[in-house]
Structure 1
Amino acid sequence: MAIATCVFDAYGTLFDVAAATRRLAERPGHEDFAAKWPRIAEIWRLKQLQYSWLRATAGVHTDFWQVTQDGLDFAIEAVGGVAEGERAALLELYFGLEAYPEVPAMLRALKEAGRETAILSNGSPAMLEGAAASAGIRDLLDEMLSVESVGVFKPARVVYDLVGHAFGRTPREVLFVSSNGWDAAAAAGYGFRTVWVNRAGDPMDRLPWRPHRVASDLTEIPELAASW
């Protein structure tokens, strides 16, 4: 069955999650931060994901903006602190993350081919709107689906159900793309066709399912969507 709808994870897939820390490090007057930003970015992202999984498992939901702040606070403490005002600056930058360079052309190619496009993300609606508007890609997305409508983070199956509810498509008509191997794998288990965007060259996660394809970036997604 042909792919009708292409759905993307947001953070790390369409939007560069390291951009907030990198951009602050590039600003004059933040030389001390520049020495520690890679470590902050790494810990921040790890704790953000871990807190979403733990909350989903425990059944104690909060929105992703709170999880993002909690992860940042852990990272800041882990590296010994940051200067006054840098925490607030990082959160402001995160709210308006930039997209990876290939994203606009990739989404435009999918739309020109007649395919529906969407985000399916742990992010809150306000976060997703802020990032999409900042990156200039909002008009290239038919839907931005947030876990806030079901109150649990990925990879809960009820999150993947949102795609069918929004578009009326069967799982086999959906291509799901994520930079998180666990997310692409879980979506494959759900029944979507999946691509893992493995920018870092990480090993495959040991899970009951595997992504159908692996790519180094998003450039070939329109071609892959046409090949199924």
Structure 2
Amino acid sequence: MFDSYVFDAYGTLFDVHSVTEKLEEKYPNKGDAISQEWRRRQVHYFMIRQLIDGYLPFDQITQNALKDALQINQADFHSGDIEKLMDAYLHLQPYEEVDNVKDHLPDNSLTIFSNGTPSMLQPLLENNQLEHTFRVLSADEPKVYKPAPAAYAYAQKQLKIADPENILFLSSNPWDIAGAKSYGFTTAWVNRQKIQWPSLDVEPDHIFDNLNDLK
């Protein structure tokens, strides 16, 4: 057992591609391509912002990535379309086993540590009736994105746990697991797609098929 269980949000607890249905309604036969490009650019853009020490809130990065994903897929849009699709990000679907997480760990405090802003994360939890399950920590507070070491240091400080190895950090994103492991957290890679771990010269401590392995 660990002192704290910390979860990434996007792609780990919530399916970022559950926006595909909304995208498909507006842009038939382009929904999946737009969703995939949206996510790729979202990650790419916050990585760049971190590297150039030019922090921009995650909601703005997400909106910029959406606009570029639409443009690259030749999907016309206006401000109202962007607003509706950004709202869809507040209604992402949790993976089916997320509701069971609290049952597996009834006596433990569960925390989300995400690059998302509180204004994105709190409505997302509330819209899925999970606001009483998870405490929220956001990289927007120190304004340092994961996977920078300072981001995980912030989370550890907020959790008030002296030994980072007593924190189990779970993410489906290899870059996030690599960052957390390099910092000193114990890590569990949630590998739903059953892909090969990339050659990052750092390995996760555990590999889970999904969050039901957290028992």
TM-score by length of structure 1 reads 0.88
The question of whether the paired residues in 1 share the 8 Å contact of 2:3 and 2:108 is answered with yes
| Amino acid corresponding to residue 59 of structure 1 in structure 2 | D
Question: Which letter maps to 1:50?
Answer: H
CA shift for structure 1 position 92: 1.0
Confirm or deny that 1:144 pairs with 2:139. Answer: no
Q: Find the aligned partners of 2:166 and 2:155 in 1 and give their Cα distance.
A: 11
Q: Distance in 2 between matches of 1:215 and 1:10?
A: 16
Query: Are the equivalent residues in 1 in contact too, given 2:23–2:34 (CA < 8 A)?
Result: no
Partner of 1:10: 9
Q: Distance in 2 between matches of 1:37 and 1:197?
A: 25
Q: Report the secondary structure of 2:169's partner residue.
A: strand
Separation in structure 2 between the aligned mates of residue 139 and residue 167 of structure 1, nearest angstrom: 17
Secondary structure of 1:214's counterpart equals strand
| Counterparts of residues 1-228 of structure 1 (less than 5 Å) | 2-25=1-24, 27=25, 30=26, 33-82=27-76, 85-110=80-105, 112=106, 114-141=107-134, 143-169=135-161, 170-221=163-214, 223=215
Secondary structure of 1:176's aligned partner? strand
**1:131: Cα distance to partner?**
0.8
> 1:99 corresponds to which letter in structure 2?
P
| Count of matched residue pairs | 213
CA–CA distance in 2 between the matches of 1:160 and 1:51? 20
SS at match of 2:15: coil
* Letter aligned with residue 146 of structure 2: K
Deviation of the 1:82 alpha carbon: 3.7
Q: Residues 9 and 119 of structure 1 are in contact (CA less than 8 Å); yes or no, is this contact kept in structure 2?
A: yes
Asked if the contact 2:91/2:127 (under 8 Å) is kept, the reply is yes
Q: Which amino acid aligns with 1:10?
A: A
Q: In the TM superposition, what is the alpha-carbon distance from 1:24 to its structure 2 partner? A: 4.5
Q: Write the letter of the residue equivalent to 1:46.
A: R
1:9 to 1:20, Cα distance in 2 relative to 1, 3 A: same
TM-score (norm 2): 0.93
Q: Which amino acid aligns with 1:115?
A: N
RMSD between superposed Cα atoms in Å = 1.5
In 2: Cα distance, 1:24 partner to 1:117 partner: 32
In structure 1, list runs of 5 or more residues that go unmatched: 224-228
